[in-house]
Amino acid sequence: MVRTHVLICGGTGCSSSKSEEIMSVMEAEIAAKGLSDEVKVVKTGCFGLCALGPIMIVYPEGTFYHSVEVSDVAEIVEEHFLKGRPVERKVYHEQNDADVHHATSLSETSFYKKQKRVALRNCGVINPEIIDEYIANDGYQALGKVLTEMTPEQVIDTILASGLRGRGGAGFPTGKKWQLARILVPDADQKFVCCNADEGDPGAFMDRSILEGDPHAVIEAMAIAGYAIGANQGYVYVRAEYPIAIKRLQIAIDQAKEYGLLGDNIFGTGFSFDLKIRFGAGAFVCGEETALMTSIEGNRGEPRPRPPFPAVKGLFGKPTVLNNVETYANIPQIILKGVDWFTSMGTETSKGTKVFALGGKIQNTGLVEVPMGTTLREVIYDIGGGIPNGKKFKAAQTGGPSGGCITAENLDVPIDFENLMAIGSMMGSGGLIVMDEDSCMVDIARFFLEFTVDESCGKCTPCRVGTKRMLELLDKIIEGNGTLEDIDKLEELANYIKSASLCGLGQTAPNPVLSTLRYFRDEYIAHVVDKKCPAGVCKNLMQYKIVEDKCKGCTLCARKCPVNAISGTVKNPHVIDPAKCIKCGVCISSCKFGAIIKE
Amino acid sequence: MISLADLAAIREKMKDKVVIREGSAQTRVVVGMATCGIAAGARPVLNAFSEGVNKEGLTDKITVTQTGCIGICQYEPVVEIYEDGKDKTTYVKLTAEKAERIIKEHLIGGKVVAEYTIGAIEK
């Protein structure tokens, strides 16, 4: 009789810190202690708190272990599973008030308390490789309900009424998309349902986590979409660098086929639906819908002009619905729990929840799901645990290389599609990169632009040539050779590229530059007029100096300097030769007296 | 191909096996499993409780879990039952057979088995 379930995260993050090995050692230890019949080890998807991985939860108590190492396993098995004493030093303690509050249970932590897990509801709860566990949590009930009790029109009406909008970035109403694909070409002989799992934004990994943690939710939703629009074939386009997601999705598809939940005549209703996986080679542009479909067709992944939209001429020229992984993950629950339940979450125009991938200068790096309308402050400080090392918040980048930054004065804006657009950013896929006072906004803009220059497919000139010219202007500014006219030119060029590019990649590529110009123009001006980088990031615009009064002449920095740029004699102040200095920062970190400064 | 009824059957069968992960049960049966408890025979008691609770289909309402030494080692195996809005009940010197009776009379019937409680022994 199993009395204890040990859930160990098998997501990509925790797998890279040996969760698989921990699992096998744990099973061996449990067997050695004769507990195999009482304690069950379950591999799950991502819990979200990736910064503290490998994560392990022990039910029924809900004890939350973090940073578990192989060497801890024997102790946990002996002390906790056998004797019932949780191993305190490995139990999660709240970062902010470790002395006062002592959270042992997952749901008690402030990281989870404010979250509302809808798309991620099964991630970290079920074993994604066992279809029965998904079924136990109401899996495939929604498909059954749709096929036996609802007409395709009713399904579409339900999704329309729920107000669900695409979670991949643009926020197009999902119900509308399905409706168009159903009605626009009434005599189509073939239609397709596609899933966009070509997650490309730097720092975003919610789609991967859903496929790894709850692949059946996506499969079920795609079958529902197929029924709604009249398609019997689906494709999941997933990037090849997500091997765990691909493996689990394939296992899930095989299991669903075995049960007849995919294939011919599902539930004996006459409805048939089949699903195939197609791998992407990792090009960012293939996340754009027309490029994605071109790639599935076997051609080079390049976008094409719209219209015709995919609902009319999509994959192989047939009407096609293409939704993002997170969007699909919401569908079965909307069908089962109803429109009222879904619309009770969120804001006027944006219903439901959104998953964000927290990254950058934040305490709790990981994946969080919050109702739309939650403020950035709540996400960063209450859930994310704030900025490490007592640094000050400067800005957060949402929407990755297509989005923009949100500054401190907008921290209390409720997050939804419209509000983010209004402050010059965008929802995007949900990457959220936090920057503190040590981040240079010009450098950040350059980082994202360099990414889009690399990823531009080259089909249209504004994107191919324009973004490259923008990057050159930014390089000029960062190197200290920029002028005020360069800033104006940058802005002008950005606006041309935005309006003239063929696809979403080019149309949004200038956004990081435009939004940093909007909120941090003074930093750009400091770079070109004062020739200074206020955050001390841009190497060409700063120098390392030794403060004479503070230097004790210990010679440590001179010995550490890799290019021998520091000279001086024992017990006398040292000097850095700016011509030799490569600004690596080794001297600052080695000086015990704080005598070296950047300026 | 499975039918809707088959799907419901799988769901029912599996539900008991994953409900433990919700941690939502209101009643907690806590078995003392320190060295003293194990030596006195707490393991069969723990197994009797977890099997009994499962057999009666109460896994969504009752959690069976272990704890360390409660401090009254001479009375082991000790089991404490926590219920919402009620006083904690402490059972002492249990065996698997006594556990079955507690499941039937206390956990299902709602009536404390007074003769096994610490109060009865101390008198």
The enclosing domain of B31 has a CATH number of: 3.40.30.10
pLDDT at A98 > cutoff 60: no
Distance CA A470, CA A498 (A): 12
Q: What is the mean pLDDT of residues A228-239?
A: 97
* Contact between chains at B18 and A137 (C-beta distance less than 8 A): yes
Specify if B45 maps to a domain. Answer: yes
Q: Which residues contact A169 (CB under 8 A, 6 or more apart)?
A: A324, A399, A402, A426, A427, A428, A429, A504
- What is the distance in angstroms between the Cα of A132 and the nearest Cα belonging to chain B? 7
Specify if A423 maps to a domain. Answer: yes
Specify if B60 maps to a domain. Answer: yes
> In total, how many domains does chain B have?
1
* Contact between chains at A38 and B47 (C-beta distance less than 8 A): yes
Q: Please tell me whether residues A100 and A231 are part of one structural domain.
A: no
Tens-digit pLDDT profile for residues A422-465: 998 888 889 999 999 999 999 999 999 999 999 999 999 999 99
Distance CA A72, CA A87 (A): 9
> In total, how many domains does chain A have?
5
Specify if B92 maps to a domain. Answer: yes
- Identify any residues that bridge with A107 across adjacent strands, giving them in sequence order: none
Set of chain B residues whose Cβ sits within 8 Å of the Cβ of A3: 46-47, 50, 64-65
Using the Cβ of B123 and the Cβ atoms of chain A, whether some distance falls under 8 Å is answered with no
* Contact between chains at A261 and B65 (C-beta distance less than 8 A): no
Which runs of E-coded beta strand occur in A202-292? 233-239, 274-280
Q: What is the mean pLDDT of residues A110-126?
A: 89
Specify if B14 maps to a domain. Answer: no
Six-digit token pair at A384?
Answer: 């994310």
- Per-residue pLDDT band for B123 (boundaries 50, 70, 90) equals low
- What is the distance in angstroms between the Cα of B122 and the nearest Cα belonging to chain A? 26
Confidence (pLDDT) at A101: 43
Q: What is the mean pLDDT of residues A243-248?
A: 94
Nearest 10 degrees: Cα torsion A589, A592, A597, A598: 0
Mean pLDDT over each residue of chain A, to the nearest integer:
92
Confidence (pLDDT) at A97: 47
Q: Please tell me whether residues A410 and A478 are part of one structural domain.
A: no
Distance CA A255, CA A467 (A): 46
Nearest CA in chain B to A265: B1
Specify if A124 maps to a domain. Answer: no
Which segment, A284-288, A420-424, A580-584, is predicted with the most confidence on average?
A: A284-288
Specify if B62 maps to a domain. Answer: yes
pLDDT at A95 > cutoff 60: no
User: Using beta carbons and an 8 Å cutoff, which residues of A are at the interface with B?
Assistant: 1-5, 7, 38, 57, 59-62, 82-85, 105, 107, 125-126, 132-133, 135-141, 144, 148, 259-261, 263, 265-268
Q: Please tell me whether residues A425 and A566 are part of one structural domain.
A: no
Domain with A45, as residue range(s), is: 4-110
* Contact between chains at A259 and B2 (C-beta distance less than 8 A): yes
Q: Please tell me whether residues A96 and A25 are part of one structural domain.
A: yes
Q: What is the mean pLDDT of residues A51-74?
A: 90
- Per-residue pLDDT band for A201 (boundaries 50, 70, 90) equals confident
Find the range with the poorest average confidence among A404-418, A575-589, B5-19, B93-107.
Answer: B5-19
Q: What is the mean pLDDT of residues A77-106?
A: 72
Specify if A91 maps to a domain. Answer: yes
Q: Please tell me whether residues A228 and A272 are part of one structural domain.
A: yes
Q: Please tell me whether residues A140 and A267 are part of one structural domain.
A: yes
**Last residue in a domain, options A320, A342, A364:** A342
Q: Please tell me whether residues A154 and A297 are part of one structural domain.
A: yes
Q: Please tell me whether residues A187 and A317 are part of one structural domain.
A: yes
Tens-digit pLDDT profile for residues B62-74: 888 887 777 788 8
Specify if B11 maps to a domain. Answer: no
Which segment, A381-390, A391-400, A467-476, B48-57, is predicted with the most confidence on average?
A: A467-476
* Contact between chains at A148 and B4 (C-beta distance less than 8 A): yes
Confidence (pLDDT) at A224: 98
Confidence (pLDDT) at A96: 52
Could you tell me if A9 and A19 are in contact, meaning their C-beta atoms sit under 8 angstroms apart?
Answer: yes
- Per-residue pLDDT band for A355 (boundaries 50, 70, 90) equals very high
Q: What is the mean pLDDT of residues A321-329?
A: 97
Question: What's the complex ipTM?
Answer: 0.80
Q: Please tell me whether residues A586 and A561 are part of one structural domain.
A: yes
Specify if B93 maps to a domain. Answer: yes
Confidence (pLDDT) at A151: 97
CATH code: domain of residue A482: 1.20.1440.230
Buried b (16+ CB within 10 A) or exposed e, A348-360: eebbbbbbbbbbb
Domain with B69, as residue range(s), is: 23-122
Tens-digit pLDDT profile for residues A499-545: 999 999 999 999 999 999 999 999 999 999 999 999 988 988 888 88
**Last residue in a domain, options A56, A80, A110:** A110
Nearest CA in chain A to B1: A260
Q: Please tell me whether residues A451 and A473 are part of one structural domain.
A: yes
Q: What is the mean pLDDT of residues A351-373?
A: 93
- Per-residue pLDDT band for A229 (boundaries 50, 70, 90) equals very high
Confidence (pLDDT) at A147: 97
Specify if A535 maps to a domain. Answer: no
Set of chain A residues whose Cβ sits within 8 Å of the Cβ of B53: none
Set of chain A residues whose Cβ sits within 8 Å of the Cβ of B54: 1
- 0.90 surpassed by pTM: no
**Last residue in a domain, options A295, A313, A342:** A342
Specify if A183 maps to a domain. Answer: yes
Using the Cβ of B65 and the Cβ atoms of chain A, whether some distance falls under 8 Å is answered with yes
Measure CB to CB from residue B10 to each of A4, A132, A267 and give the nearest one: A132
The helix/strand/coil state of A97 is coil
Mean pLDDT over each residue of chain B, to the nearest integer:
86
A594: left (phi over 0), alpha (psi -120 to 50) or beta: left
Specify if B99 maps to a domain. Answer: yes
CATH code: domain of residue A400: 3.10.20.600
Q: What is the mean pLDDT of residues A261-289?
A: 95
Q: What is the mean pLDDT of residues B72-87?
A: 85
Using the Cβ of B95 and the Cβ atoms of chain A, whether some distance falls under 8 Å is answered with no
Set of chain A residues whose Cβ sits within 8 Å of the Cβ of B7: 135, 140-141, 144, 267
Q: Please tell me whether residues A335 and A235 are part of one structural domain.
A: yes
